[in-house]
Amino acid sequence: MTIHDHTIRIPVGDESIDGTIVAPSTKIPGVLFVHGWGGSQEQYLARAREIAALGCICLTFDLRGHAGTRPQQGTVSRENSLNDVLAAYDMLAGQRDVDPDAIAVVGSSYGGYLAAILTSLRPVKWLALRVPALYRDSNWEMPKLDLHKGQDLGAYRQTLVSAEENRALRACAEFRGDVLIVESERDNIIPHAVISSYLEACAEPRSMTYRVIKGADHGLSEQSSQRAYTALLVSWMTEMVLGERGGEQAGQTTTMPAGTLPEAPPTPG
């Protein structure tokens, strides 16, 4: 936590003496959660509560085309979704007690892809990506549901994509904060080549943590996989927040506290 010194004069009778008030900043970190395609904010609420207990303000939200606006899903584009993420970020950053220079963004699958792009448009200090999806830059305003038919994503995701070729990866290449990337060992939606593309793109982060959840599928359908991811995320965020408060640079995550809650349904990212 940032510490502020404020010099004062202390009246003593007809004179005064010098003093310094040393106090912690009143601002605290903010954490934005971006769910995957087919998911909702409900899947992040339990994790948000655990991270809020660290002394953070967390915001979960539903992308358009999900939860209460599901009838829009067939028309929602990446442009619409990115605008949703930007609006949510601005709402979080504008909260009175949030430090706008200490914001974390946590995204999964489609939400991870959007979170990566967000870092090129807003200040982000910590970026956590679980099985981040990858799409071609073309057809940006096409309905997201049509991308799987129009972009040959199966073949695209099997190749190593350079940062120069992709908007999300370019954002990662320019990102200088702390990064967590989590892969599922048995993911049939996001192959290892996509994870490798993200890892290669994150060339100059302040710190990089990469983990593979053994036996996990894309949607973390097993309770053990859900607990493993929650453990990783909470452990990493604990290290980031405590490092920030201690004025130390964060390093690798090594501990894994318990946690629960499904991440996302096993639907295409």
Contacts of 106 (CB under 8 A, 6+ apart): 31, 32, 33, 34, 44, 47, 115, 128, 130, 233
Q: Dihedral of CA 196/204/35/167: which sign? A: negative
Per-residue model confidence as pLDDT tens digits over 58-93 = 999 999 999 889 999 999 999 999 999 999 999 999
Per-residue model confidence as pLDDT tens digits over 233-260 = 999 999 999 887 665 443 333 333 333 3
Contacts of 133 (CB under 8 A, 6+ apart): 36, 37, 109, 110, 112, 113, 189, 190, 194, 269
Quote the tokens at residue 96.
């009175």
Residue that is written with structure tokens 């995957």 in the block: 36
DSSP per residue, 101-119: EEEEEEEETHHHHHHHHHT
- 147-160 exposure pattern, b = at least 16 Cβ within 10 A, e = fewer: beeebebeebbeee
Which CATH homologous superfamily contains domain 27-246? Alpha/Beta hydrolase fold, catalytic domain (3.40.50.1820)
What strands lie across the sheet with 57-60, from one edge to the other?
A: 57-60, 28-34, 98-108, 126-130, 178-184, 207-213
Quote the tokens at residue 158.
């099997």
Quote the tokens at residue 222.
């097993």
Per-residue model confidence as pLDDT tens digits over 159-218 = 999 999 999 999 999 999 999 999 999 999 999 999 999 999 999 999 999 999 999 999
d(CA 159, CA 218): 19
